[in-house]
Amino acid sequence: MITLEQLPTGRAGFDLDASPLQRAITRAADGRPLGEALTDVEVVRHFGCERSQLGLAAPVLVAIIAGVRSGKSLMAACAAVKGTLTADLAALKAHEVARFAIVAPTVDNAGATFRLLVGSVEASPALARMVVGEPTADTITLRRPDGRLVEIVVVAAHRGAVTLRSRWLVGFVLDEVALFGAESTGAVVNAEELVRAGETRLVPGGQGWLISSPFGPSGVLYDLFAAHFGKPGRVLVVHAPTRAMNPAFPAEQVEAIRARAPDVAAREYDAEWVDADTAFLDGVLIDKSVRAEPLEEPPIPGVRYTAAWDAATRGNAWTLVLCRGESMSSDVVRVVVALARQWIGSKRQPLDPDMVIAEIAEVLARYGVDEVACDEWGADALQAVARVYGLTLLPRTMSTARAYLAYDEVRTLLTQRRLELPPHAMLVQDLKGLRKKATASALRIELPRTSDGRHGDFAPSIALAVGDAATELLGGGGWCSLSPEQRATALETVGVAWNADGTFGQREKRKPPIQFWTLTNGEQEAVGQPVPRPGSLAPYSSAMVARWTRARNNPTRFSAACSPAFKSEIETHRMATEGHSS
């Protein structure tokens, strides 16, 4: 039986030179020992495991995370011919023609791979004799030594994975699979559905290959990498940078790109998982912040928790997040997301708010929580229902600027490894799906919309609950540590200004890009951008801004809602501006 290694290198195959890593991949994919193709260090680098763990059995799925110009199309062509010639067709009826499908994101991508395949087959005397008829623009048919016909087709991905559903498959390749849509983003054509359709139609001995450059730490290719790299078995995952696969590629070209755009070089040549330019949160950091267990942390006596929900009844999920803070020092907090739940309704069967809130109240009671932060969607109506079950809603007006600050606080905690997330797949998916978008007046956070009707629904709850947890534990210390300019910037964010007489007043409405606010010394400062400057709110908790916003027109509520340190600072300022001693 012909081996996969013989196809790129043998005279009966394509008669080409293969790099040591390409040879190692063909051997591991065939379930054969690697031999001395790679050193021990290289085996660990590219396969994530020891040499002895490879070659024990042929995998069903082979995922290659490869750099550009690394011979990905050659590997796809070899996999197609190998599957065509060796897969077990004994169970197929005589009239059934099996297929090997190479699926690419576009017709142009598919065509490039197909031209390489046809040219390589026709250049091999042994393989050329197997060709039946003339190849068409997207199909070549081979007659195997046992007389069975097999089609090799190259197509662009279609909705519903229809190109993989109509025939039994001797194998398939998803070429540049990282560029396919993802199920988590609601893409109609998505890689997850293609993999499921392909796997269920493989004949014995068939293999599925996913070959692609990486494109951000999300999607089916990243999921396979995270779950199976270094753990070969039914799935084999290979990390294959450009020059490891293709040593002839000019090193100076790689370094020239690296000097100008390090992230581009890391993704395109080093095959590293680099987030897309528009991703707001680092997907790798999110994964590192997820605890192994439990999914829901049991209540801890004496600990104060903060809760937030994002309410919805039709399509979107109604989400609940519960957090607690852990003090790392006098002014540094670590936030733990203790619990995350969701309820999903539909247009035909919308959620009953009374039933959902009753269940939420029961959950929160175990943690001693009777207040829930939320946005203003339906807050008036939901407040009445919440009171019946002993809950008080704390609505927040989430303007573009305030929302950005809240999500930026989550990003800061992630970056500093001060946020612990539960192993909740949907929550992780929602956070990874956050995108930043620059408009003429501000940076805006966009939530991912998926085909099941969800709209990144855990993200708003996380932003509110995490900020409140940090503020609750700090007790206002973050505010008191700010300079007058930083305090003014924070108050400006929510439309509040210090007045020279020591009172608080609404910011004068002006059109971007110029905004004004009054500093504590009575001077005014103009800034030519509609959102605070980067880093100006580094020690500040956006939740404290929200608390002040809720209470500023109600002194009683202000006194009850704000921390003692925050109240003390404000009263000190009032007295000083009125000429009293502090």
Q: Peptide bond before 395: cis, by omega within 30 degrees of 0?
A: no
Look at residue 531 and tell me if it is in a domain.
Answer: yes
Give the model's pLDDT for residue 508.
33
Alpha carbon separation from 450 to 314, 429, 454 (Å, rounded): 14, 10, 5
As given in the structure block, the two tokens for residue 155 are: 């197509």
Taking the alpha carbons at both ends of the chain, their separation in whole angstroms is 91
Q: For residues 73 and 248, what is the distance between their CA atoms, to the nearest angstrom?
A: 16
Helices (H), 453-532: 458-474, 477-480, 484-493
Give the model's pLDDT for residue 190.
80
**Shared-domain flag, residues 341 and 443:** yes
Give the model's pLDDT for residue 566.
46
Residue tagged 């890593």 (tokens)? 21
**Shared-domain flag, residues 488 and 406:** no
Q: Any idea what DSSP says for residue 476?
A: T
Q: For residues 397 and 546, what is the distance between their CA atoms, to the nearest angstrom?
A: 8
User: Residue 198 sits in a domain of what CATH number?
Assistant: 3.40.50.300
Convert 361-408 into a string of H (helix), E (strand) and C (coil): HHHHHCCCCCEEEEECCCHHHHHHHHHHCCCEEEEECCCHHHHHHHHH
Q: For residues 513 and 70, what is the distance between their CA atoms, to the nearest angstrom?
A: 47
Give the model's pLDDT for residue 85.
94
Looking at the DSSP bridge assignments, the partners of residue 140 are 152
- C-alpha neighbours within 13 Å on the C-beta side of residue 185: 17
Look at residue 525 and tell me if it is in a domain.
Answer: yes
The CA angle 453-458-461, to the nearest 5 degrees, is: 130
Q: Dihedral of the CA atoms 447, 449, 454, 459 (nearest 10)?
A: -20
**Shared-domain flag, residues 402 and 382:** yes
186 φ/ψ sector (left φ>0, alpha ψ -120 to 50, else beta) = left
The CA angle 203-207-213, to the nearest 5 degrees, is: 150
The secondary structure of 541-581 as a DSSP string is: -HHHHHHHHHHTT-HHHHHHHS-HHHHHHHHHHHHHHTT--
Looking at the DSSP bridge assignments, the partners of residue 526 are 516
**Shared-domain flag, residues 354 and 436:** yes
Look at residue 428 and tell me if it is in a domain.
Answer: yes
Look at residue 285 and tell me if it is in a domain.
Answer: no
* Predicted confidence (pLDDT) per residue in 132-185, tens digit: 999 998 899 999 999 999 999 988 777 656 667 778 999 999 988 888 866 665
76 alpha carbon, distance to own chain's centre: 27
Q: For residues 530 and 338, what is the distance between their CA atoms, to the nearest angstrom?
A: 35
Domain that holds residue 438: 305-470
Cβ-proximal residues to 241 (8 Å cutoff; 6+ apart), any chain: 66, 67, 70, 269, 270, 271
Q: Which amino acid is at 420?
A: E
Number of domains in the chain: 3
Q: Which amino acid is at 439?
A: T
Look at residue 172 and tell me if it is in a domain.
Answer: yes
Q: What averages of pLDDT result for each successive group of 10 residues across the chain (582 residues)? A: 80 74 94 92 94 94 94 87 94 92 79 84 90 92 95 80 80 88 65 90 95 84 92 96 94 90 85 75 90 95 93 89 85 88 89 95 95 88 93 85 82 90 92 75 71 79 85 45 47 40 34 35 36 33 33 33 46 49 35
Domain end (from 217, 245, 268): 268
Name the pTM for this structure.
0.59
Neighbours of 2 (CB within 10 A): 16
**Shared-domain flag, residues 373 and 426:** yes
As given in the structure block, the two tokens for residue 400 are: 């573009």
Q: For residues 576 and 582, what is the distance between their CA atoms, to the nearest angstrom?
A: 6
Look at residue 276 and tell me if it is in a domain.
Answer: no
Domain end (from 221, 240, 268): 268
**Shared-domain flag, residues 488 and 463:** no
Query: Coil, helix or strand for 273?
Result: coil
User: Is the CB of residue 391 less than 8 Å from the CB of residue 361?
Assistant: yes
Give the model's pLDDT for residue 520.
40
User: Is the CB of residue 532 less than 8 Å from the CB of residue 493?
Assistant: yes
User: Residue 345 sits in a domain of what CATH number?
Assistant: 3.30.420.240
Look at residue 175 and tell me if it is in a domain.
Answer: yes
User: Is the CB of residue 52 less than 8 Å from the CB of residue 136?
Assistant: no
Q: For residues 190 and 220, what is the distance between their CA atoms, to the nearest angstrom?
A: 9
Q: For residues 503 and 66, what is the distance between their CA atoms, to the nearest angstrom?
A: 61
The secondary structure of 149-200 as a DSSP string is: EEEEEEEE--GGGGGGTSS-EEEEEEETGGGSB-GGGT-SSBHHHHHHHHHH
Cβ-proximal residues to 402 (8 Å cutoff; 6+ apart), any chain: 396, 493, 494, 542, 545, 546
Give the model's pLDDT for residue 280.
85
**Shared-domain flag, residues 510 and 530:** yes
As given in the structure block, the two tokens for residue 460 are: 């708003």
**Shared-domain flag, residues 160 and 76:** yes
Q: How many helices (H) and strands (E) does the chain have?
A: 22, 20
User: Is the CB of residue 312 less than 8 Å from the CB of residue 261?
Assistant: no
**Shared-domain flag, residues 408 and 529:** no
**Shared-domain flag, residues 89 and 224:** yes
Convert 75-100 into a string of H (helix), E (strand) and C (coil): HHHHHHHHHHHHCCCCCCCCCCCEEE
**Shared-domain flag, residues 453 and 483:** no
Q: For residues 372 and 463, what is the distance between their CA atoms, to the nearest angstrom?
A: 13
Give the model's pLDDT for residue 342.
95
**Shared-domain flag, residues 460 and 497:** no
Look at residue 287 and tell me if it is in a domain.
Answer: no
456 φ/ψ sector (left φ>0, alpha ψ -120 to 50, else beta) = left
